[in-house]
Structure 1
Amino acid sequence: MSVPKRLAAGLLAALLIPAAAVATGAEPAPPEAEARPAEPRPIEPRLTVERGGPGAPRVALTFDACDGGADRRILDVLVENRIPATFFVTAIWIRRNPAALALLKAHPDLYAIENHGARHVPAIDRPTMVYGLKAAGSPEAVRAEVEGGSRAIEAATGRRPQWYRGAGAVYTPATIAAIRAMGFRIAGYSLSVEAGTRLDAHKAAERLGKARDGDVVLAHANHPAWPTGAGIAAGILALKEAGFQFVGLDEPAARGR
């Protein structure tokens, strides 16, 4: 005997009701009620400078100084060879390294001192972790981080910084808009030497040697005890020997996305 159509439909409907709804007697929630808006993915902006061409390739050296000390192996190579660079420093680094700061300030034609924040906190406006660092977590905390770093630089140098690079160099669309509204340009990069790791000298020099015409290089100058700094110093000299011209982020104009 075949099952009547009405009974068959009822059995099928019962099988399709989720177990939780059967247990509570509740109606299944519509799909749109369960959906949550996806959080915007962090953005890691890219930045390059105008290329110089095969005969005079250009590269912009940028160094983050988060906390810790000052790597004189890198600073001495830059100063002795009059190689320009941009330093992104935190308020913490400024307090801990007055001699290194004085060295940079003594060569304003070569070294720009830019904003890396007050406490080296990633400029993400929601609670999360970035490379092991606890993010700012709110728009208000992002603003405090950016403005605190700017005030420290202005107090130490008499100059308001023009560029900002947050800890981890990642942002949300909202924080990028907010930082720009504060009057800062976002300093991305196109080549990271350390890529978030501690390298031996050979590997660091090898990474820096991969720089191409127009690259904005990101490295760190606040780990004097690491072997990485020796490799970065050697890599800078190798680029010079290869005919690279070193430029700041504003000469020629940097282009980012």
Structure 2
Amino acid sequence: MRHYRRPGAGEFPRRLFLFGSAMTSLSACTVAGGDSRLGEDVPAVALAAAPVPEPQAAEPTSAPIPGRQDIVAEFAGRTPALWGTQLPGTVVRLPEGASGTILTFDCCGGRGGNGVDQALIDTLSRAGAPATFFLNARWIRANPGTAKALAENPLFELGNHGTRHIPLSVTGRSAYGVPGTASAAEVYDEVMANQEVLHSLTGKPARFFRPGTAFLDETAIAIVHRLGLTPVSFSINGDGGATYPPATVFREINASKSGDIIISHANHPGSGTAAGIARALPALQSSGRAPIHFVHEGPGLASLRQAPGARGL
């Protein structure tokens, strides 16, 4: 097991995403009117990010997480050729024979994204439905009480949804008009600043990472793996970026098959997500597709299916 070394005090500041309008909707957590040009760079001014200090050693480990400068040196000169949401090295579905579905909910943070869909959380809790919540650092800062409650609920696992909620790139590529990280150093910062926030919240390192907008390149994927996390994408778009009405949420989730990873959102109260999930859960549970945790499938993370063509990193 890889060990996460914490910084010292004060050191961290229906199916494969429906193409067309449904694809655009994923940007609802980031900016209004996101660009719908799939995988195309959008001219934009790069966002500035404060560097994350180097982690400082504490406990012994056989596989320490590399520091910022280690990542910069290791990935210097790599030029990625791929850009998307389901690249080799990302987990898209569970392996064949999986006995249920994975519910994931993004909490994106920032302007218009700091809300809490408590009705959704309560629905999952009452139904005893496991879920993974991908939390962004801004959302955690805005909702410390809810974040703590999620962390303490054994039904839920917390994943890393980045620090600034931006695409993960080493060349500054954009998605939906949102400029991504522009170097290996910025990829490190986007992942590890929030990893420290989550470690402080839960007492353990997050296992899974999903970037803002879900876009990333293959070099960024390799960096995420080196940092001890597994990039997780999705095979079902459950709520279209919290824009679908309840009937559509139900329809999309009910179209899932065992092994599907479903993405929805938990930061837009008043959206159709909670009501749609409430209707979908009994259908999943009565048809052998009940929600499960990642950890309940296979001997470990290696058993998770990666995107088509994945050979491991």
TM-score (norm 2): 0.64
CA distance in 2, matches of 1:52, 1:255: 11
Please state if 1:42 is matched with 2:83: yes
- The answer on 1:111 being equivalent to 2:161 is no
Q: Is 1:207 the equivalent of 2:207?
A: no
The runs of 5 or more residues in structure 2 that have no matched partner are: 1-78, 299-303, 308-313
CA drift at 1:105:
2.3
In the TM superposition, what are the counterparts of 1:89-168 in structure 2 within 5 Å? Answer: 89-108=135-154, 110-168=155-213
2:101 aligned counterpart, secondary structure: strand
- Alignment-derived partner of residue 8 in structure 1: none
Q: Which consecutive unaligned segments of at least 5 residues does structure 1 have? A: 1-37
Higher helix share: 1
SS for the counterpart of 2:198 is helix
Partner of 1:136, secondary structure, is coil
CA contact (8 A) 2:100 2:290 kept: yes
Is 1:61 aligned to residue 106 of structure 2?
no
Letter of the 2:102 counterpart = A
The 1:134/1:233 distance shift into structure 2, 3 A limit, reads farther
In 2, Cα distance between equivalents of 1:245 and 1:119: 33
Give 1:52 shift: 4.9
Once the two structures are TM-superposed, the CA of residue 178 in structure 1 deviates from its matched residue by 1.0
3-state SS of the aligned residue for 1:238?
helix
Superposed displacement of residue 61, structure 1: 0.8
Between the aligned partners of 1:153 and 1:39, the Cα distance in structure 2 is 29
Amino acid at match of 1:65: C
Aligned with 2:263: secondary structure? Answer: strand
Per the alignment, in what secondary structure is the counterpart of residue 125 of structure 2? helix
Give the whole-Å Cα distance in 2 for the aligned partners of 1:128 and 1:197. 25
State which structure, 1 or 2, has the greater radius of gyration over its C-alpha atoms. Answer: 1
Q: Structure 1 residues 99 and 51, CA, compared in 2 at 3 Å: closer, same or farther?
A: farther
SS at match of 1:47: strand
CA contact (8 A) 1:223 1:229 kept: no
Larger strand proportion of the pair:
1
Q: Which whole-Å CA distance do the structure 2 matches of 1:83 and 1:194 have between them?
A: 17
Instruction: Give me the whole-angstrom Cα distance separating, in 1, the residues matched to 2:242 and 2:266.
Output: 14
Q: Does 1:216 align with 2:261?
A: yes
Change (3 A) 1:197 1:80: closer
* Percentage of matched positions with identical amino acids: 28
CA 1:250–1:128 in 2, change beyond 3 Å: closer, same or farther? same
Name 2:305's counterpart in structure 1. 255
2:306 aligned partner, one-letter code:
G
Aligned-pair RMSD on alpha carbons? Answer: 2.0
Closer/same/farther in 2, CA of residues 113 and 39 from structure 1, 3 Å limit? closer
Question: 1:99: Cα distance to partner?
Answer: 2.8
Q: Which residue of 1 aligns with 2:121?
A: 75
SS in 1 for 2:181: coil
Q: How does 1:4-19 map to 2 (within 5 A)?
A: none
User: How many equivalent residue pairs?
Assistant: 216
Counterpart amino acid of 2:132?
T
Distance 2:192 2:80 in 1: 25
TM-fit CA distance, 1:60: 0.9
Letter in 1 for 2:108: C
Letter paired with 1:102 = K
- SS of 1:58's equivalent? coil
SS at match of 2:196: helix
Write out per-residue CA displacement over residues 112-160 of structure 1, whole angstroms, 9 at most, x where no aligned residue.
1111111111112222321232211222111100001101101111111
